Amino acid sequence: MIETKKFDKNMITLLEMCSTCMKMCKDQCPTAWATKSERITPYTRSLMIILNEKGIKEYDQAAIEAEYKCTACWACEEACLPKVGLPNMIEIARSDIIAKNPDLKPMNEIANRVETLHNPLNEPAEERFNRLKNIIPEKKKAEYVYFIGCMACYRHPEIATSIIKLLKQTEVDFTAMIGDEWCCGSPIIRNGFTNLAQKLAQHNIEQFEKFKCKKIITGCSACYSTIKKDYAELGLTLNQEIQHFTEFFDELRIKNKISPNKNLDKIISYHDPCHLGRRMGVYDPPRNLLKAIGGKKFIELQFNREKARCCGAGGGVKYNYSDIAKSIGIRRLEEAQLLNVDMLVSACPLCKNHFMAIQNDKSKTEIKDITELIAYVYLD
């Protein structure tokens, strides 16, 4: 049976409020900006949902596009006085759309890949740990499990390598789930495939139990928000504490258990990943770590913290509507270029991957993940 997430009475009231509101959120929505379309705004999305829920107008092609052109950036929520939680409603709408159209293209491609290969990148499942297994301490149980995530395993092993080396230096008892880690489910949940998301989440939770770990660490903002928030929203119980790597490492820094041993002669700025910042409220640990690096200076982008602009890659938009993802990402990169920063740093492999893919060859701004910088200044 195909399960969908459901709207409750309170949600319907909020959606009614949203579709008739003063629209404080429009200017914050990156996809409204990129498409310049009145159909692609937060409130038109909510209007289409409420019309479908009340049986007035089913989701047609235009409505499906509107719902799927959302990057799940949570910027509308930041501007929204009643805090209706529209990004959650859009996810529920997508799960309803998928229940009625299980072969919806191109979204079904991601679902098929994750179902068969356990990653959305179309890479062989058995090669997931190829570039990392030699440096991971192989253990049957450990206090910490490092959940690496698809993007760091296959596309950015330099991020995973940095984290593994740093964890070794901190001497914590850790391992990674070689051969047992599957996609966290983020791209599947965002695209509305609730059944498959349940299966992935259930599998990963069983592995955490198998490794008898007490804590999970991840360097990926999408994995972090998915495991911490979405697994519970899917009705599953996670018995472990989970931290983003920046939270874990900043705690050690505050307790003076680690300290930088090199400077970095670069002007650095930080891009808040939407799923670490707005969705999970983690703003300070990455900044604390960057500010603790001696050298030139840390400067904020014009739009930062709660107001940070999205990179454009989230919510399946990079896969489904790559042109929109590109224009949103370029606007964000231009903020860094205007400030002449040497490095734009994020705390999510997906942001790094997207910025690197769309950056102009002539740009002088280096794109890095925060874990690479931390490895550079903290490793012996």
- Which residue ranges make up the site for ligand SF4 (CB under 6 A)? 17-18, 21, 23-25, 28-31, 42-43, 45-46, 70-76, 79-80, 82, 84, 86-87
- Give least dist CB 71 to ligand SF4, A: 4
Cα Rg for the chain, rounded, in angstroms?
20
- Give least dist CB 54 to ligand SF4, A: 17
Phi/psi of residue 97, each to 5°? -60, -45
- Give least dist CB 112 to ligand SF4, A: 25
Structure tokens of 272? 């808040």
Q: Where are the beta strands (DSSP E) in 43-121?
A: none
Beta-bridge mates of residue 145:
175, 216
The smaller minimum CB distance to ligand SF4, of residues 19 and 194, is found at 19
The smaller minimum CB distance to ligand SF4, of residues 296 and 305, is found at 305
- Give least dist CB 158 to ligand SF4, A: 29
Residue nearest to ligand SF4 (CB): 80
The smaller minimum CB distance to ligand SF4, of residues 70 and 377, is found at 70
The smaller minimum CB distance to ligand SF4, of residues 328 and 341, is found at 328
Of 146, 124, 123, the closest CA to residue 135 belongs to: 146
- For residue 10, count other CB atoms closer than 10 A to its CB: 10
CA distances in angstroms from 36 to 40, 166, 269, 327, 328, listed in the order given: 8, 44, 28, 12, 12
- Give least dist CB 355 to ligand SF4, A: 18
The smaller minimum CB distance to ligand SF4, of residues 43 and 321, is found at 43
Of 252, 308, 251, 373, the closest CA to residue 75 belongs to: 308
Strand, helix or coil for residue 355: helix
* CA atoms of 130 and 161, how far apart (whole Å): 12
- Give least dist CB 72 to ligand SF4, A: 5
* CA atoms of 375 and 166, how far apart (whole Å): 6
The smaller minimum CB distance to ligand SF4, of residues 40 and 98, is found at 40
- Give least dist CB 243 to ligand SF4, A: 25
The smaller minimum CB distance to ligand SF4, of residues 31 and 371, is found at 31
* CA atoms of 117 and 122, how far apart (whole Å): 7
